[in-house]
Structure 1
Amino acid sequence: MESGSPSTSTYQRRPEDVVASNGREVEQFALEACVARQKSGILVPPPRVPPAMLDAAYERCDEVTGEYAKTFYLGTKLMTPEKQRAIWAIYVWCRRTDELVDGPNASHITPEALDQWENRLEAIFEGRPADIIDAALCDTLSRFPVDIQPFRDMVDGMRMDLVKPRYRTFDELYEYCYRVAGTVGLMSMPIMGCDENFEGDLTKVYKAALSLGLANQLTNILRDVGEDVQTRNRIYIPLDELAEFGIDESEIVRGGLYSPVTGKVDDRWKAFMKFQIARAREVFAEAEAGVNCLHADARWPVWSALDVYRNILDAIEENGYDNFSQRAYVPKMKKLMMLPTAWQKAQKADTM
């Protein structure tokens, strides 16, 4: 698209143009589009697919979500059946999109391939799914007023991954986090819905959803530092912040901040990680502001997912900030033990 008006300058087709865009403007444009869509109630035409085939597609989405997103999946199991299916369909579309640049065929993916994937997305929103899994998403869009813009922005996040293996500042990283994770919050918000008595500003709730996506992605980045650099040659943590703690990116690349012989983590890295974890926790706190505005049947699932995912930060600390040789996670039993507290927090609605 040509740059110019606000409606066209917020996303571009070439990866280089995507990288050069203003992430916060992109996010604001999508937020406004999503709020307007939810208020309008406009839906996508339903797919012309037999119900039995749709049921099978949703079952496959259930299986994929359960296999690849265990913490996220736990939250969905607390939802109503219709909302479960919708969230699974959205998750699987997001996963398929991510697999384009991180999956087994990632080395063969070109900007043109992402253009084709986006054309396929446009067809879903026109009621013309390309396969049965796309049909599950199309069916979801025919039931909930979900806007296309965050989906477009996520594809642009994949375009960024094609050309940008490093992030100089947090503002640069913020744009990436919005595109690959904040977008999920925008996609999911119409599924969750607001409390029946909610009379406040819908934008507030969407901003909290964006914060939850950002917090989750920051957590992913901190958890996967070693894996990202070793398997993908990507460093997502801001290089200028590394420099503030006296760390050069080459030390991450060559593994110089952790000794596999002694098991010792460099003190500079520990201090850096404490700073990063504190910021992620602040963003989780911002996300909390909108959870109790959600519909009664969505609050417990979202609180559960938020609390469990935030606990990954605790696990990084418990691992001595070693995210080079260890992958922080929350054990299943601990997740289950967190559910009663999440349920208690979900009981009181915030209607303003």
Structure 2
Amino acid sequence: MSSEVLDRWEQRLEDIFEGRPYDMLDAALTHTVFNFPLDIKPFRDMIEGMRMDTQKCRYHNFQELYLYCYYVAGTVGLMSVPIMGIAPDSRISTQSTYDSALYLGIGNQLTSILRDVGEDAMRGRVYLPQDELAQFGLCDNDVFSRKVTDQWRAFMKKQIKRARFYFNVAEEGASQLDKASRWPVWSSLLIYRNILDAIEDNDYDNLTKRAYVKRAKKLLMLPLAYTRSLSTHNLMSQ
């Protein structure tokens, strides 16, 4: 996507928040903006993430990768909270709920990155912290060779542990959303968490295999997600 297209998107975004939609799709978002307390910043930041993706395909460290994950996925969580609503009897602060939504987006994006390592490598992209690859004696060529080694498995264990951390800290906020909104959020959290399990089940081979959760397993997780959604208590995973 060209920078000119993204510039036009950003201008249309400004117009939407000013009540000047360009077409019917813009009008739908304008209607949402005027009916919910949405902030324009996450929308701007998502466009910035798209710009980043046109210019950058390597990330020196996790700080850089975190920023990318915030731009392309954490922003979705921040956009969603005003629409989903927060429970009137929420046990945590509004800011904590927004933080949890952000962390769920980060966890989802990190999981997507780990799931898609092989596919991204075929496009010449490596969305992994370069310094952490080096800590395990790895580099881009090891990713491109698509060979699963003990060093790769050890590296992947660290990356999966980090993604799970973000899912764990997201749980508190998921249980404090408006009751009608909790079930889909919990479903997303549990399904993405299971993608990490699938990578482990594939012996950490995300270079030649794409981890996924089978449809039957997804359906079986829905009752668990519903049960979690009924409680306003923090159910931090062990």
TM-score normalised by the chain length of structure 2: 0.94
1:84-127 deviations in whole A, cap 9, x for unaligned? xxxxxxxxxxxxxxxx3xxxxxxxx1x23321210011111122
Give the corresponding residue for 1:222: 114
Which amino acid counterpart does residue 114 of structure 1 have in structure 2? L
Query: What is the one-letter code of the residue matched to 1:284?
Result: F
Aligned to 1:95: none
Which of 227, 231, 234 matches 1:344?
227
- Preserved CA contact (<8 Å) 2:49 2:71: yes
Alignment of 1:1-352 (within 5 A): 100=1, 109=2, 111-198=3-90, 200-231=92-123, 233-253=124-144, 255=145, 257-258=146-147, 265-350=148-233
Amino acid at match of 1:201: S
Cα distance, 1:350 vs structure 2: 4.8
| Separation (CA, whole Å) in 1 of partners of 2:93 and 2:206 | 39
- Determine the C-alpha separation between the residues in 2 that align with 1:136 and 1:113: 20
Secondary structure, aligned partner of 2:90: coil
**1:253-274 deviation per Cα after TM superposition (whole angstroms, max 9, x unaligned):** 3x2x42xxxxxx2111111111
SS of the equivalent of 2:58 reads: coil
Q: Measure how far apart 1:305 and its partner are.
A: 1.1
CA contact (8 A) 1:198 1:350 kept: no
Larger Rg: 1
Q: What letter corresponds to residue 163 of structure 1 in structure 2?
A: Q
- Letter of the 1:304 partner, please give it: S
Preserved contact between residue 118 and residue 206 of structure 2 (Cα < 8 Å): yes
Secondary structure of the structure 1 residue equivalent to 2:35 = coil
**3-state SS in 2 of match to 1:307:** helix
TM-score, scaled relative to structure 1:
0.64
C-alpha distance in structure 1 between counterparts of 2:91 and 2:66, whole Å: 30
| Aligned counterparts of 1:251 and 1:324: Cα–Cα separation in 2 | 10
> In 1, Cα distance between the equivalents of 2:91 and 2:202?
44
Q: Is the 8 A contact 2:172 2:233 kept in 1?
A: no
CA distance in 2, matches of 1:211, 1:180: 12
Contact 1:157 1:176 in 2 (8 A): yes
**CA-atom RMSD in angstroms:** 1.5
Alignment partners' CA distance in 2, 1:160 and 1:211: 20
Q: What is the letter of the counterpart of residue 6 of structure 2? A: L
Q: Match of 1:133, as an amino acid?
A: L
How many residues end up aligned between the 2 structures? 234
C-alpha distance in 2 between matches for 1:303 and 1:145: 23
**In 1, Cα distance between equivalents of 2:59 and 2:125:** 9
Amino acid of the structure 1 residue aligned with 2:227: Q
Secondary structure in structure 2 of the residue aligned to 1:142: helix
Cα pair distance change 1:112/1:240, threshold 3 Å: same
Q: Deviations over 1:310-332 (max 9, x none)?
A: 10101111122111221111111
SS of match in other structure, 2:187: helix
